[in-house]
Chains A and B, each alone.
Chain A
Amino acid sequence: MLNALIARHGTWTWGGYVIPVIFGITLLAMWETGERLFEISDVLLPAPSEIAARFWLSRDILWVDFVQTVIKGALSGFVMGCGAAFVLAVVIDRFPFLQKGLLPVGNFVAALPIVGMAPILVMWFGFDWQSKAAVVVVMVFFPMLVNTVQGLQSTDNMQRDLMRTYASSYWQTLLKLRLPAAMPFIFNGLKIASTLALIGAIVAEFFGSPIHGMGFRISTSVGQLALDLVWAEIVVAAIVGSAFYGGIALLERLVTFWHPSQRGRT
């Protein structure tokens, strides 16, 4: 694995990063100058510099909100939901009947607007982070389940027969062949779940929350027309979202370095 890491670093180029960064800086500069030139009211759209200033001034508020929404709500729900879905996927993988029945239902549920469950779950679990975690669990469960089940099926007969000729038990086949083969699918599910988790935790707070939390702050600050604070929260959300997604993508590279989609990357 270390070898793979080193080999990859050799081909790592800066060009792939410089161009999007320049594009982004240009965009920010245009936003700032546009703001200055046309004197757009802060109620509509604050300038990037004002957002940065607000971000620095209210960093303690942002931190409290971050802990409440991301750590307590999104992350705990993400771990519980993905963990439960993974375990259930391994279980139903043993029963073809369940598989045939649960997969279409799971696919269907994954396409539903599950955020709508938020008011019900807030009613059941109270205003604090437990209800937010519950919303996240429900949201991430089905995408994760469907992906894991599909991944466990992704080995072909030849490979399974080979394991049988080695006289390997069910658990050996699972651990040494089918789980590794399922990893690209599992990571796909985790990536989808990572974006859903943050959204679920924030939206659930619109239906009632204690007096901190990112969703609470966004909805109340909009009411007070304090848009610079709203944008500061958005910056936090964007950073957290990218870091979350990026962390999983990095983990995926380390775990599934053998997969064509990773090897082909330069």
Chain B
Amino acid sequence: MTRSILPVLTVVAAIVVMWYLAAVPMNAQWAYDRAARADVTLSFSDLVADTWSQEKPRLPAPHQVAVEVWQTTVDKKITSKRSLIYHSWITLSATLVGFALGTTLGILLAVGIVYNRVMDMSVMPWVIASQTIPILALAPMIIVVLNAVGISGLLPKAVISMYLSFFPVAVGMVKGLRSPEVMQLDQMHTWHASASQTFWKLRLPASMPYLFTSLKVAMAASLVGAIVGELPTGAIAGLGARLLAGSYYGQTIQIWSALIMAAALAAVMVSLIGLIQRIVLKRMGMAT
């Protein structure tokens, strides 16, 4: 783990440097235009300084984004409509509700598929087919339709998150519940274990590593679902709404800070699951 820190830091540093370098040519046109109008010739250092400090750059420099994130999280009150924490919470709550619903549905489906042959034959292909429908493209319709029935706010977004997150959990749990070998199942038979005992004492514990891997994928997917769910209907709050508003008004710095916030949310949630995974697997004696 510690051996890979230096390479990772190098790569991250390289990305930041490339970002700064790219910002110069990307924003140069605007700087030149303004200089031409003011009848001044730009020296190279002026040009660089200008491209890194424009108000609506095509590509904001990293420090501009950092300043924006700082201002909208720490300096603003949480209840303010301009606080990024407020918007993040809106998105996160929909993500978590959708994630919980999706995980429950996924696990129930997996248990049904493993224990019922008819379900295995009929439901599994449709679970896979359901994911070829780009649900994100459906998001506007789902939200408009649910709005027409009088359901609005958190639930429609959570439904989209659920749809996206149940699939990895279902597939992973089917794999996990089937991971015990024939030998182990036979051992349960010789102990005269009932079906439920086999489930609780062998299949479920054996599926834990698979479950956690799927949960990470599901969490990332349901965050994407919540963000896209906020795009249509001109949503007023949430990270997706910040993205859309930013793109309408050309506020690139706002878009980038919302993106960074979304990335941070994803990173925190996924590593939280990773932490729980390590603790649980260690308690179960399965840690590697």
A43 near B148 with CB under 8 A, answer yes
Contacts of A242 in B (CB 8 A): 129, 132
Least CB distance from B56 to A in Å reads 10
Determine which of A15, A99, A116, A218 lies in contact with B137 in the assembled complex, contact meaning CB atoms within 8 Å. A218
Alpha-carbon distance A241/B270, docked complex (angstroms): 28
Cβ of A52 within 8 Å of any chain B Cβ, yes or no, is: no
B113 within 8 A of A: no
The main secondary structure of chain A at its interface with chain B is helix
> In the complex, what residue of chain A is closest to B245 when comparing beta carbons?
A119
- Residue A120 lies at the interface, judged by CB distance under 8 Å to chain B: yes
Q: Does B256 contact A (CB under 8 A)?
A: yes
> Which of chain B's residues has its CB closest to A196's CB?
B134
Q: How large is the interface on B (under 10, 10 to 19, 20 to 34, 35 or more residues)?
A: 35 or more
Residues of A162-178 contacting chain B, CB below 8 A: none
Q: Do residues A120 and B252 form an inter-chain contact, with CB atoms below 8 A?
A: yes
Chain A residues within an 8 Å CB radius of B133: 234, 237-238, 241
Q: Is the CB of A202 within 8 A of B141?
A: no
State the CA gap A44–B144 with chains docked (Å): 9
Say whether B148 contacts A222, CB under 8 Å: no
The answer, yes or no, to whether B92 is at the interface (CB within 8 Å) is no
Whether a CB of chain A sits under 8 angstroms from the CB of B262 is yes
Does A44 lie within 8 Å of B149, measured CB to CB? yes
Q: Are A20 and B247 in contact (CB under 8 A)?
A: no
Tell whether, in the assembled complex, residue A115 and residue B250 are in contact, meaning their CB atoms are under 8 Å apart. no
With A and B bound together, what is the CA distance between A119 and B126 in angstroms? Answer: 33
In contact, A245 and B132 (Cβ under 8 angstroms): yes
State in angstroms the CA–CA spacing of A71 and B130 once bound together. Answer: 22
Contacts of A102 in B (CB 8 A): 7, 11
**B8 with A101: CB separation less than 8 A:** yes
CB–CB A104/B131 < 8 A = no
Is A198's beta carbon under 8 Å from chain B?
A: yes
Contact with A along B9-33 (1 / 0, CB 8 A): 1111001000000000000000000
User: In the bound complex, do residue A202 and residue B136 qualify as a contact, i.e. CB atoms below 8 Å apart?
Assistant: yes
B121-132 vs A: 1/0 string, CB under 8 Å?
111111001011
Picked from A19, A111, A202, A222, the residue with its CB within 8 Å of the CB of B220 is A111
Which one, B72-80, B178-186, B223-231, B279-287, is touching chain A? B223-231
Residue among A44, A113, A120, A237 with the highest chain B CB neighbour number at 10 A: A113
Contact residues of B between 231 and 279, Cβ < 8 Å to A:
231-232, 239-240, 243-244, 246-247, 250, 252, 255-256, 258-259, 262-263, 266-267, 270
Instruction: Check B232 against A219 for contact (C-beta < 8 Å).
Output: yes
Q: How far is the CB of A239 from chain B (nearest CB, A)?
A: 9
The reply to whether B228 and A203 contact each other, CB–CB distance below 8 Å, is: yes
By a CB distance below 8 angstroms, the chain A residues around B12 are 105
The answer on a CB contact under 8 Å between A116 and B262 is yes
Residue of B15, B126, B243, B263 near A112 (CB, 8 A) is: B263
Determine if A101 and B121 form an interchain contact, defined as CB atoms under 8 angstroms apart: no
CA distance in complex: A215, B140 (Å): 10
CB-CB under 8 A from B246, the residues of chain A are 119
Query: Please, how many angstroms separate the alpha-carbon atoms of A117 and B129 in the complex?
Result: 27
Q: Does B145 contact A (CB under 8 A)?
A: yes
Of B149, B217, B266, the most chain A CB neighbours within 10 A belong to B266
Chain B residues in 8 Å Cβ range of A198: 134, 137
Q: Give Cα A35–Cα B223 distance, bound, in whole angstroms.
A: 33
A122 (CB) vs chain B CBs: closest residue: B247
Interface residues of A in 39-70 (CB under 8 A from B): 43-45
7 contacts between A and B (CB under 8 A): A111-B266, A112-B263, A112-B266, A113-B224, A123-B58, A124-B58, A245-B132
Chain A residues at the B interface, C-beta cutoff of 8 Å: 15-16, 19-20, 22-24, 43-45, 97-102, 104-105, 108, 111-113, 115-117, 119-120, 122-124, 195, 198-199, 202-203, 206-208, 214-215, 218-219, 222, 225, 227, 230, 233-234, 237-238, 241-242, 245
Q: 10 tightest CB-CB pairs across the interface, nearest first?
A: A101-B7, A119-B247, A241-B132, A101-B11, A20-B125, A100-B7, A202-B137, A23-B122, A19-B121, A111-B220
Question: Which residues of B pack against A, CB within 8 Å?
Answer: 3-4, 6-12, 15, 58, 118, 121-126, 129, 131-134, 136-138, 140-141, 144-145, 148-149, 216-217, 220, 223-224, 227-228, 231-232, 239-240, 243-244, 246-247, 250, 252, 255-256, 258-259, 262-263, 266-267, 270
In addition to A115-B228, A119-B247, A227-B141, 12 A-B residue pairs with Cβ atoms within 8 Å of each other are A19-B121, A20-B122, A102-B7, A113-B227, A116-B227, A116-B240, A195-B134, A206-B231, A222-B140, A222-B232, A225-B144, A242-B129
